[in-house]
Chains A and B, each alone.
Chain A
Amino acid sequence: MKKVITKISLRITILAIVILAGSFLGFKLVKKPLTSEEYPKTDQRISDKYSQGSLEESSNREGITKDTKPMPLYGNWQTFTKKNGLPADKAYCVRIDGDRVLVGTSAGLAVYENDKWRTYTVEDGLAHPGVLSIDVSELTGDVWIGTLGGLNRWSAGRFETFNQFNSGLANDVIYTVICDGKDVWVATGGGAGSYDTYTGQWGIYTERNAPMHEPWTYGVCAGGGKIFIAAWGGGVIEYTTKTQLFRDYIDPDGEMEIDLFTDDGVIHDITTGVTYADDILWVATYFGLSRYDGTRWKGYLDHDTGLISNFINFLKANGPVVWLCTDMGLCSFDGETWVTYQKKENSMEGKILITNGDDTKEIASSTSIAHEFVIGVDTQDDVIWISTSKGVSRGELLK
């Protein structure tokens, strides 16, 4: 084996020298595999690929409107970081709650209200400073907070902590929490869990009682009388509330390193998030996006669609539009049109890429999202908030 390697190195060295000149020819033609240190500056990569345009132009463009409802465009980004009062730059999640915005950071829960940030930490009753997920109960207004160290109910100032020791919570690392009527669902490091706020009863869903290989869950969403669980390594688990029955959706090819057919089922068994709206289930993975309309699956990969990156941290659907938090920017998609928000390198300016089929247009934007590594998103009315690797941003619908 050592010999082999040595040979390979030798060959590569020789080859490299031989093809040095020719290399630059290929540079602009092929989408190249990336390395971390020199991952392409997205501007370059995309600007070469797409044509240019202006924002004003694009918002009136026919190309991005659908027959029924035009794909919304957001802009006027305003960014908040530690300098503006956030407790940390790394913001895992964001949730709009009426007049206030709740942001989960690596150093506590930040609440933006009346143009001011206020931070809640462990001293205030937060289970752990790392806040990964937030949801608000529509019924009661209670805020449910998933942290790296347990689940909080934050109700009118009172923090209540649930963890795997003092309650029926499966595990203390809460990747996702959602409210579904009186029920609260969590995706944790030790299985999915449900909590009935009326009876106080906890449910745990693991490989022991649900069709999962292992109890690792990453995302959960509710919709259509069902609960969908993104089971890491187990695809998507569907739970029908009424019948209390489970079924699973996994990648039919059974292999981790490939996707045999894009549309044969969920793209990959390592799922990172699920969201449901307008009778559509969207599934995020680090390997692409999947859409399920109840009968058939459709997969989207970055090499042949407008999806900017296969690496999707989180997603959230709002009506027909799904918002995708990728490592290359914020992406929205309604089944036809892709709109991607990116940041220009070393600049406060941003850009928007709009892809319809093979047609892609880039629009410059005077403002941009805080960072292209987007981790969380929430929209409400004409406002969008995103949380990123370095700060949170607020955008407005462009009319």
Chain B
Amino acid sequence: MKPRFLVLTILAFIFLFPATDLIGQDKKQDKKLNYGNTIDVQVPYGRFQKADKNFFDDLQPFTGAGREKVPPTDLTEVRIGLLGPLEGSVLSPQGIQMLQGATLAMEEANEKGGYRGIPYKIFPHNDVGLWGAAANEVVKMNDEKVWAFIGTIDDINTHVALRVALKLELPMVNTGDPDPTLTETRIPWMIRCIADDRQSSYALVNYIYHVKKHSRIAVLRANNRYGRVGIMEFRDAALRYGYPLVLEIRYNDGETSFTTQIERMIKSSPDAVVLWGNAKETALILLQLRKMGMKQPVYGCDRLMSPVFLEIAGEEAEGVITTCQYNPTLDMPNLVAFNKNYEKRFGYEPDVFAAHAYDGMNIIIDAIDLAGLNRALMRDVMTDLKTLQGYQGITGEIIFDASWNDIGVIWMTEVRNGKFEFFPPPPFEQENLTGSIAAKKP
């Protein structure tokens, strides 16, 4: 049923594009979601002022040359780059998962004959190194003549890589960095197939304030870009619901004692606590805050959803609620097969980074299949919001918005009996909607 509609939709788009796009837009405006799946109440300044310009109403074209380039005929392998924290980083376990997820996709594609008989090959690059190494690594990939690349997890490195990808006009698929600003750079060479922190924050904020009816939230976050940008979306969303944070404090990666921060949290007497950081530190924080007498419910970002967190936090993890960009327990045939194959191939369960990298790699492979070995044409099919729109990945259906951000499904989890139990986020409560959409209309 679903595929049929999808096909129909795409067909309709292709044939009726100018009409649907132009006229439909005006007509659809009422029904269409705002940028980033933002509910009206959450639209920046939506209650007060119409913006002079909404940048992502339009799709940024790429008008440069390159589509005319003839694919090489003497290839013995089709190279795909992968930039990730492969060694020497706290994120290395995730980086390895990412590489393995992509590798599995590549191996499956190669089993099916690769690209017209030519096997795919991954050229992995470590993004952990001296100052801005990611930029240099992307340059190296380009020198290696990759056709596209996947990368990375750390948002600083992803941003750095993205800018180089633009200069080199090298298609980039991000499968692991939920930094919302990444796709807001309007670089028509990157798509992201993982939901961003904006989506996670919306879900979390809705859940915390509307479902659980908390109003005083204290945030303890990592003192890095990941923590800063993630919480930025959370803070804005909470504020727009009318709930300023009662406390936002930070810790540094590698810290092991959080007494000072927890003492400050206790003083702020919150209803609940939100932790935003890596699994290890947040688990330690959880243990320590429980030890120091804080009984409040704890919520966290998607990075808490990790075996490391459960292992360290133990029983105290019970009841912790996080978001997750997909639901690994869904009974979808492709996901089940992936989980099985992955474990068989690598000996342990895939994580969220493996799963999204698997999807990302498959998107690249599909793009090559569809467009041939031409970076600009590959880019075209990846970004046209048609060809690959609604891509059925193992992480669910991937829906890109006009900034090529994945605004697809987000999930929530709760630790129950030492396991993450998944559940869909409750529907957003639309408050004070009146006028906001109207205000947006030109």
Residues of A within 8 A of B (CB): 1-2, 5-6, 9-13, 15-17, 19-20, 22-24, 26-27, 30, 32-39, 89-90, 92, 106, 128, 130, 132, 148-149, 164-165, 170-173, 175, 188-191, 214-216, 218, 232-233, 253-262, 268, 270, 286-288, 299, 301, 303, 310-311, 327-328, 371-373, 388-390
Known: A12-B12, A30-B22, A261-B52. 4 other contacts (CB 8 A): A165-B130, A214-B156, A258-B52, A260-B52
B186 CB contact (under 8 Å) in A24, A218, A287: A287
Subset of 9 A-B contacts with CB under 8 Å? A23-B19, A23-B20, A23-B22, A36-B62, A148-B167, A256-B184, A257-B56, A258-B55, A389-B65
B169: nearest chain-A partner, CB-CB: A90
Q: Nearest B residue to A7 by beta-carbon distance?
A: B5
> When each residue 1-15 of chain B gets 1 if its CB lies under 8 Å from chain A and 0 otherwise, what string results?
110011011001101
B6 surroundings in chain A (CB, below 8 A): 6, 9
Tell me the dominant secondary structure on chain B's binding face: helix
B331 within 8 A of partner (CB): no
Q: Are B44 and A258 touching (Cβ within 8 A)?
A: yes
Cβ B53 vs Cβ A26 within 8 A:
no
Which residues of B28-42 are within 8 A (CB) of A? 28, 31, 35-36
Most chain A CB inside 10 Å of its own CB: which residue of B25, B65, B181: B65
Write the chain A residue with the least CB distance to B132: A190
With contact pairs A9-B9, A15-B20, A287-B53 given, residues A132 and B163 touching in the complex (Cβ less than 8 Å): no
Say how far A134's CB is from chain B's closest CB, in angstroms. 15
Known A-B contacts A22-B19, A38-B17, A253-B44; the reply to A173 vs B65 at CB < 8 A is: no
Q: How far is the CA of A166 from the CA of B87 in the complex (A)?
A: 24
CB-nearest residue of chain A to B411: A1
Are B55 and A12 in touch, CB under 8 angstroms?
no
Bound form: Cα–Cα A89–B399 in Å = 35
B396 CB to nearest chain A CB (Å): 8
For chain A, what secondary structure do more than half of its interface residues adopt (helix, strand, loop), or is it mixed? loop
A189 touching B168, Cβ below 8 Å? no
Tell me whether B45 is interfacial, beta carbon within 8 Å.
yes
Q: Which residues of A contact B379 (CB under 8 A)?
A: 36
B23 proximal to A (CB < 8 A): yes
Query: Is the beta-carbon distance between B62 and A216 smaller than 8 angstroms?
Result: no
Cβ–Cβ contact B59 & A12, under 8 A: no
For the complex formed, measure the closest distance between the CB of B167 and the CB atoms of chain A, giving whole angstroms. 6
Contact with A along B118-141 (1 / 0, CB 8 A): 000000000000111011100100
**Which residues of the other chain, A, contact B59 by a CB distance below 8 angstroms?**
33-36
- With A30-B22, A170-B132, A256-B184: A287-B65 Cβ-Cβ less than 8 Å: no
Least Cβ–Cβ distance between A19 and chain B, in angstroms: 5
> What residue of chain B has the Cβ atom nearest to residue A34's Cβ?
B61
Docked pose: A173 CA to B131 CA in angstroms: 11
Query: Which residues of the other chain, A, contact B210 by a CB distance below 8 angstroms?
Result: none
Q: Quick one: which of B290-343 are within 8 Å of A by CB? A: none
CB distance from B239 to the nearest CB of A (A): 12
Contacts of A286 in B (CB 8 A): 60, 185-187
Is B417 positioned at the interface, with any CB of A under 8 Å from its CB?
no
